């Protein structure tokens, strides 16, 4: 399947993920983490994007970026290339450090923006590495005055996120803390299962399949199909390896419940 161009986010916010090739570790000691933080700082100076949250895990990276100038690919390519040069030189190796193409998901509304901040910050907990406040290699501590992080050393643009909780900074910090410490039920959160960095398809690849394999070129028309025919289409899309129910709902512009009903309909027919 040919590579499709990335779909632009209406909010200009993206969840970007870089993973070590073959899921190998990309950070071995403190200097490695510090080097990548320095690379983030330099790319922010060069590309003038905003960073809402990030976490550097041993074998992968999550970044929540607002890219007004639509230079996302150049931003991530610059990060990956700079770190690969450092990493290969330091560890006397050659070849790729990261998987060939970074993953990104559009973050289209305030609900996703805030939940993604929490999801990213809770990665060390989910991995069983550390508590959020104890983990040095994420943006979590930058949201609190008590850390006394010098303005010049800050990587994250905290103001926008805190204002989404309250226009009063102290109250915003308090509500931010309460929000981030609530556990995400990962097994129940269909939206964020997509961010698990497995072999999942992009929306563009799903759209390509619908157009090329199912010969449906106006995807929005699927909303108008009668229920039985629409269910058949959904069932065919679900056969694609790596597609998720929330993704089908998003691509087709229908509710998640409608997708789930198509699954139920198929199961009932198989039993009869």
Tokens, residue 52: 């809402």
Give DSSP secondary structure letters for the chain. Answer: -PPPPPPPPTTSEEEEEEEBGGG--S--SHHHHHHHHHHHHHHHHHH--EEEEEEE-SSEEEEEEE-TTS-HHHHHHHHHHHHHHHHHHHTT--S-SB-SS-EEEE--SHHHHHHHHHHHHTHHHHTTS--GGG-SSBSGGGG-GGG---GGG--S--HHHHHTT-SSHHHHHHHHHHHHTSPP-TTT-HHHHTTS-SSPPPHHHHHHHHHHHS----GGGGGGS-HHHHHHHHHHHHTSTT--HHHHHHHHT--HHHHHHHHHHHHHHHH-
Domain boundaries, the chain: 13-184, 203-271
pLDDT of residue 60: 93
Contact (Cβ atoms closer than 8 angstroms) between residue 204 and residue 7 = yes
Task: Please write the tens of the pLDDT for every residue from 174-202.
Answer: 999 998 887 665 443 445 544 444 445 67
pLDDT of residue 67: 92
Share of the chain above pLDDT 70, in %: 83
CATH superfamily of 13-184: Transposase IS200-like (3.30.70.1290)
pLDDT of residue 220: 85
Tokens, residue 252: 């087709």
Can you tell me the distance from the alpha carbon of 259 to that of 249, in angstroms, rounded to the nearest whole number?
6
pLDDT of residue 92: 93
Burial per residue of 42-64, b for 16 or more beta-carbon CB atoms within 10 angstroms, e otherwise: ebbeebebbbbbbbbbebbbbbb
Whole-prediction pTM value? 0.68
Tell me the mean pLDDT in the region 215-222.
88
CB neighbours of residue 80 within 10 Å? 20
Cα 120-102-22 angle, rounded to 5 deg? 90
pLDDT of residue 270: 57
Can you tell me the distance from the alpha carbon of 137 to that of 115, in angstroms, rounded to the nearest whole number?
19
Can you tell me the distance from the alpha carbon of 185 to that of 191, in angstroms, rounded to the nearest whole number?
11
Least confident of 30-34, 61-65, 204-208, 268-272: 268-272
Tell me the CB-side half-sphere exposure of residue 272, using CA atoms within 13 A: 6
Contact (Cβ atoms closer than 8 angstroms) between residue 121 and residue 180 = yes
Instruction: Give the chain's mean pLDDT.
Output: 84
Task: Please write the tens of the pLDDT for every residue from 63-88.
Answer: 999 998 889 999 999 999 999 999 99
Contact (Cβ atoms closer than 8 angstroms) between residue 63 and residue 16 = yes
pLDDT of residue 268: 56
Least confident of 32-46, 150-164, 186-200, 233-247: 186-200
pLDDT of residue 212: 76
Residue that wins the pLDDT comparison between 239 and 49: 49
pLDDT band at residue 247 under the 50/70/90 scheme: confident
């Amino acid at each position: 399947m040919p590579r499709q161009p990335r779909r632009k986010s209406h909010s200009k916010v993206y969840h970007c993920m870089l993973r070590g090739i073959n899921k190998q570790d990309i950070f071995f000691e403190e200097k490695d983490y510090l080097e990548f933080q320095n690379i983030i700082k330099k790319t922010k100076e060069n590309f003038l994007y905003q960073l809402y949250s990030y976490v550097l895990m041993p074998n992968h990276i999550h970044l929540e970026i607002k890219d007004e100038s639509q230079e996302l690919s150049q931003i991530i390519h610059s990060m990956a290339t700079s770190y690969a040069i450092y990493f290969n030189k330091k560890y006397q190796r050659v070849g790729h450090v990261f998987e060939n193409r970074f993953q990104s998901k559009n973050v289209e509304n305030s609900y996703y923006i805030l939940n993604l901040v929490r999801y990213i910050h809770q990665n060390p907990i989910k991995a069983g590495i550390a508590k959020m406040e104890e983990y040095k290699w994420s943006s979590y501590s930058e949201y609190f005055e008590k850390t006394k992080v010098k303005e010049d050393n800050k990587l994250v643009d905290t103001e926008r996120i805190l204002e989404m909780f309250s226009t009063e900074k102290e109250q915003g910090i308090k509500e931010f803390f309460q929000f981030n410490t609530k556990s995400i039920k990962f097994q129940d959160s269909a939206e964020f299962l997509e961010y698990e960095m497995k072999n999942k398809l992009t929306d563009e690849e799903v759209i390509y399949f619908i157009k090329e394999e199912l010969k449906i070129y106006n995807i929005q028309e699927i909303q108008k199909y009668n229920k039985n025919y629409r269910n058949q289409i959904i069932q065919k899309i679900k056969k694609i390896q790596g597609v998720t129910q929330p993704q089908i709902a998003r691509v087709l512009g229908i509710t998640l419940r409608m997708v789930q009903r198509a699954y139920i309909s198929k199961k009932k027919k198989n039993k009869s």
